[in-house]
Amino acid sequence: MSSLGFQSIKFKLIVMFVLAGSVPMLMSIFLIHIQSNQIMQQQVTAELTESVIARDLILEEHIDEVRLNADVIASLPSMISFADAAQNKNVIPDHVLELAGNELALFQERMWGRTHHIMLLDVNGQVILNAPHDGWLGGNTSTLSMQLNHGKHLGKTIEFNGQSMSAVTETSASGYFDYIDDGHFFQLVASPIKDTIGQVAGYVVLEVSIEFIQEIVHSAFQIGETGKLFVVSREGREIHHDVSAYSGHVHEGIKFDDAFRAGKPLIGKYIAESGQEVIGAFVSSHDGSWGVIAEIDAAEVEAPVRAQYRMFLIITGLGFCGFGTLIVFTGRMFWKPMREVVVAAERVADGDVWLEIDTTRSDEIGELQSAVDMMRLSLKQQIDHLDSTVAERTAELEYANEQLHHDSVHDKLTGLANRVVLTEMLNKEILQYKSDSSNLISVMFFDFDRFKVVNDSLGHAVGDSLLCSIADRFNNELRDTDLAARFGGDEFVVMLSSVNGEQEVHEAADRLLKLFEEPHIISGHRIVSTASIGLVIADPRYENADEMIRDADTAMYEAKLAGKGQVVLFDEQLYKDALFRQKLEEELPFVVDQDQLKLMYQPIIGLDGMVVLGVESLIRWEHPTLGLISPDKFVPIAEDTGQIIEIGEWILRESVNQLIEWDQAFGLDGSHTVNVNVAKRQLCHPNFIAMLTDVLKKSGLDPMRLKVEITESTVMDPRHDMGKVIKQIRDLGVMLAMDDFGTGHSSLSLLHEFDFDILKIDQSFIQGMEQSREMSAVMHSIIQLAKNTGMCVVAEGVESESQVACLISHECDMIQGYYFARPLDANEAGKFLSFPIEVELAA
């Protein structure tokens, strides 16, 4: 037991179990009760037995006494004399009569009550002497008186047990119901009178009073309230004084024979005449001529026991009720509060940690309550802690958000607004313009040239300072209603609002253009960074800022193409171009599936022997409504959208298959080659080499017959290292051609870094070659250098005979151009490959 003492459930349980022990206690009480029942019965039967034995003795004594008296009377000389005289038919002398009569009357008087009449009988059973009940004539015992007033039986013949008296040879008692006198039963006791020689001379017969027997038997008998005593005949019939009371009923259940044989009283339980169950004791007289029964209602004997039994039942019932209540109460003592604890714990589990849990109990449940409450408290603390942490974090987050917002609306470097802010402001202005178009808005897209060069050559710090200097100029020049934003890199966008007419926009653009022609002095460097400006003026068709900015960007791109320091207004043509571009962009994804692509093949001629060496495959889009679209228009878009991957693979397979088909269709010798243009995005694709390998494998084409054209600008792109993929292509055995040489920024000295087989000189060189001698010289040295590094040279865009002649003189290897053939369809190209060319060159 813990410190809880009497409060503890353990203690309560002990109490409970002690109480449970009371059940066996009750059981033992019950057993004792049963025993007491037995004892009680024993007591009653003992009393009954005792009673019957005592009565039997009294009766025995009584009858013995009667017999004795009968014998005494029979032996009286007077009786003998009287009987003798009567037998001999003598006249009885008066003195004999007087003496016998007096003595008989004396005995009769003395024994009156116990016995009734005493009679003297002759041997035939006839009453010869019988004193009257009240004696002879008032005590007069004279012979005369006797003769005049004799007893009422005189002269009667008495039978003994229904037989003649002669059957009686010695003193005997008759049955109880054999003799009736005056409406009453009497038992007769007869004693033979013997004369002097021992002959039976007569009998003395006494009427034994049954009333007296009943009297002596019933005197001082008291057993319970229903206790009864009977004297019965041998057959079990109750003796009666009055004949009228006699019913001849036999007491059933009484086995006198058994009792006689046993020689002791027997006990039995049986149904009495009354219909009641009784307990009875019965004893047989020593000669079996009568029996004594003492009986008592079993109900009376069992009544106290039954009462006790009822009481026990009540006590046990009450005990059980009490015990049950106790258990329920004891149970409630812990399951109810336990349930409360469970409910509280569930509440805590549901997240309600604020409601205190009752901890007033001082038992184990109290300990449990405290533990749960502790749990609740610690949870609450954790939640509070969490709350404060969340609050802290939220504050931090808010601060960070503010910071982020600041950063998000400002360009970090220049402090100008950023794209988000400009877009937002412009959107507002567009909305306003839509409701009132009197105030124009304009967007200018700025791109500054040389910025990349400055960054690369003078370092990023100078580049950054240049951008800041540009921002400063915007800040100084622009009005408050205007907004300049940096879009990243060297791209700036300016929004002019509340402009009066287009003229003002153009003037502002010109002014800004002029402003940026001025050099920036940064860290001692004098940097000129001219602006290219794309201009857009508000128009009702613009729905949002993005559309205006996009068009300004397009115009700026055009301005850049047009050369340094230009302003280009986004006009109808640019708008159409943009729409066109958009349309192509939307339809490009379906060109392969819808079979709208077509390849044209332009022959490449070897100057040595003037033979067709192969073709370059050139893509066309046969648009169902727009007609034939040139690759310049859609290939860049396909590159932007990534569609070039799918299209490029199609071109490669188609070109390779076509070459094999020509071989078969025109019986070619299998030496011709096909040049396939591959875009940068294709080369950068991780699957390119696998795809190329697959194309070769499936077609079975000798890899040497395939020439991959990669433009100079792709090869030279500083952002992507093409070295690896170029090497992989080479490893497949495929030839490599550097396309459009002369348009990029590569220098001749870098040529040998990449292992190209062929150098294709851009057509701008070919066209310039004739016009300037310098160009021609450059051309010459390019060809020589290429040859020195083991490359073959192809001249592109050769249109005239003179160009051919010139190229021959420069020892160019191959020629491609309209002069020999335009791009041809597959059939024409096949034919071209199969016939020798007829060229006549002027000397």
DSSP 240-304: -SBGGG----B-TT--HHHHHHHTS-EEEEEE-TTS-EEEEEEEE-TTSSEEEEEEEEHHHHHHH
What's the DSSP call for residue 827?
A: H
- E strands, 558-717, are 567-569, 597-606, 611-623, 627-629, 673-677, 706-711
- Residue 619 interacting with ligand C2E (CB under 6 A): yes
Judged by beta carbon, residue 187 or residue 602, the one nearer ligand C2E is 602
Residue 180's alpha-carbon distances to 159, 187, 287, 557, in angstroms, are 11, 9, 23, 168
Strand partners, 207: 188
What is the SS3 assignment for 417-480?
Answer: ECHHHHHHHHHHHHHHHHHCCCCEEEEEEEEECCHHHHHHHHCHHHHHHHHHHHHHHHHHHCCC
Token pair for residue 720?
């992507």
Instruction: Report if residue 297 touches Ca ion, rule: CB under 5 A.
Output: no
Q: Which option in ligand C2E, Ca ion, none does residue 817 bind, with CB closer than 5 to 8 A by kind?
A: ligand C2E
Task: For residue 740, state whether it binds Ca ion (rule: CB under 5 A).
Answer: yes
Per CB under 6 A, the list member of 120, 679, 794, 795 interacting with ligand C2E is 679
Stretch that binds ligand C2E, among 76-84, 244-252, 320-328, 611-619 (CB under 6 A): 611-619
Residue closer to ligand C2E, measured from CB, 797 or 830: 797
Burial of 639 (0-12, 13-18, 19+ CB in 10 A): middle
- Does 823 help bind ligand C2E (rule: CB under 6 A)? yes
Which long-range contacts (C-beta less than 8 Å, at least 24 apart) are formed by 362-365?
Answer: 362/4, 362/7, 363/4, 363/7, 363/8, 363/9, 363/334, 364/2, 364/4, 364/8, 364/9, 364/334, 365/9, 365/334, 365/337, 365/338, 365/341
Q: Which amino acid is at 178?
A: D
What are 268's strand-pairing partners? Answer: 280
Residue 837 tokens, joined:
């060319």
Nearer Cβ to Ca ion (535/674): 674
Residues 782-801, interacting with Ca ion (CB under 5 A) = 796
Backbone angles phi, psi at 120, to 5 degrees: -110, 125
**CB closer to ligand C2E out of 574 and 738:** 738
Among positions 402-441, residues that touch Ca ion (CB under 5 A) are none
Phi, psi of 163 (to 5 degrees): -120, 170
Smallest gap from Cβ 739 to ligand C2E, in A, equals 5
Closest distance between Ca ion and the C-beta of residue 740, in Å?
4
Question: In terms of Cα–Cα distance, which of 33, 37, 32, 115 is closest to 72?
Answer: 115
Find the binding residues for Ca ion in span 522-581 (CB under 5 A).
none
Q: Does residue 677 belong to the site contacting ligand C2E (CB under 6 A)? A: yes
Q: Is 804 in the site for ligand C2E (CB under 6 A)?
A: no
CA angle (288 as vertex; 286, 290 as ends), nearest 5: 105
- Which is nearer to Ca ion, 207 or 739 (by Cβ)? 739
Q: How far is the CB of 463 from ligand C2E (least distance, A)?
A: 32
Do β-strands 228-233 and 127-130 pair in parallel, antiparallel, or remain unpaired?
Answer: unpaired
Work out whether 618 is an interface residue with ligand C2E (CB under 6 A). yes
* Span of 106-114, 307-315, 626-634, 750-758 interacting with ligand C2E by CB under 6 A: 626-634
Which of 260-268, 299-307, 441-449, 732-740 is the region at the interface with Ca ion (rule: CB under 5 A)?
Answer: 732-740
Could you count the other beta carbons within 10 Å of the beta carbon of residue 720? 15
CB 832, min distance to ligand C2E, A: 14
Beta carbons within 10 angstroms of residue 249's beta carbon: 11
Q: 815 - beta bridge partners?
A: 605, 795
Which of 630, 687, 784, 809 lies at the binding interface for ligand C2E (CB under 6 A)? 630
* Among ligand C2E, Ca ion, none, residue 619 binds (CB under 5-8 Å by kind): ligand C2E
Distance CA 707, CA 739 (A): 11
How far apart (Å, rounded) are the C-alpha atoms in residues 400 and 421?
A: 19
Shortest Å distance, C-beta 776 to ligand C2E: 18
In the bound state with ligand C2E, the residue whose beta carbon lies nearer, of 542 and 741, is 741
> Is residue 594 at the binding interface for ligand C2E, with CB under 6 A as the rule?
no
Among 799, 802, 808, 828, binds ligand C2E (CB under 6 A): 799
Q: How far apart are CA 825 and CA 818, in angstroms?
A: 14
One character per residue 656-675, x = contact with ligand C2E (rule: CB under 6 A):
--------------------
Single out the residue of 741, 763, 740 nearest to residue 751, CA to CA. 741
- What is the enclosing helix (H) or strand (E) of 305? helix 298-349
Amino acid identity of residue 20, one-letter, is A
Compute the distance between CA of residue 267 and CA of residue 181 in angstroms, rounded to an integer: 36
Residue closer to ligand C2E by CB (options 447, 740) is: 740
Q: Which of residues 709, 769, 806, 823 is near Ca ion by CB under 5 A?
A: 709
- Should residue 677 be labelled a site residue for Ca ion when binding is judged by CB under 5 A? yes
Among 281, 341, 422, 635, binds ligand C2E (CB under 6 A): 635
Cβ-contact 45, 295 below 8 angstroms: no
Q: How far is the CB of 743 from Ca ion (least distance, A)?
A: 8
* Position among 446, 797, 826, 829 found at the interface with ligand C2E (CB under 6 A): 797
Token code pair at residue 640: 């932007």
Quick check: 801 binds ligand C2E (CB under 6 A)? no
Distance in Å, CB of 640 to ligand C2E, minimum: 13
Segment near ligand C2E (CB under 6 A), from 93-101, 413-421, 425-433, 630-638? Answer: 630-638
Piece in contact with ligand C2E (CB under 6 A), picked from 273-281, 575-583, 776-784, 815-823: 815-823
The Cα 554–Cα 671 span in angstroms is: 46
Residue that is written with structure tokens 């400006």 in the block = 533
Nearer to ligand C2E among residue 49 and residue 602 (C-beta): 602
Nearer to Ca ion, 65 or 717 (CB): 717
Q: How far is the CB of 802 from ligand C2E (least distance, A)?
A: 13
Q: Judged by CB under 6 A, does residue 712 bind ligand C2E?
A: no
What is the pattern of x (binds ligand C2E, CB under 6 A) and - over residues 746-785? -----------------x----------------------
Cα angle at 794 between 793 and 798, to 5 degrees?
140
Q: Beta-carbon neighbour count of residue 569 at 10 Å?
A: 19
Q: Which two tokens stand for residue 198?
A: 């021992």
Q: Closer to Ca ion at the Cβ: 103 or 740?
A: 740
> Exactly one of 739, 817, 823, 826 binds Ca ion (CB under 5 A); which one?
739
712 near Ca ion, judged by CB under 5 A: no
- The phi and psi torsions of 186 (rounded to 5 degrees) equal -140, 150
Single residue of 632, 669, 838, 840 touching ligand C2E by CB under 6 A: 632
Per CB under 6 A, which region of 84-92, 167-175, 412-420, 817-825 contacts ligand C2E?
817-825
Contacts of 727 (CB under 8 A, 6+ apart): 755
Amino acid identity at 633? K
Q: Which is nearer to ligand C2E, 101 or 797 (CB)?
A: 797
Please, which residue, 81 or 617, has the CB nearer to ligand C2E? 617
Closer by beta carbon to ligand C2E, 30 or else 650 = 650
Stretch of residues binding ligand C2E (CB under 6 A), selected from 121-129, 229-237, 409-417, 628-636: 628-636
Nearer to ligand C2E, 119 or 794 (CB): 794
Residue from 98, 411, 429, 740 touching ligand C2E (CB under 6 A): that is 740
Residues that bind ligand C2E (CB under 6 A): 602, 617-619, 630-632, 635, 651, 677, 679, 739-740, 763, 796-799, 817-818, 823
Residues that bind Ca ion (CB under 5 A): 677, 709, 739-740, 796
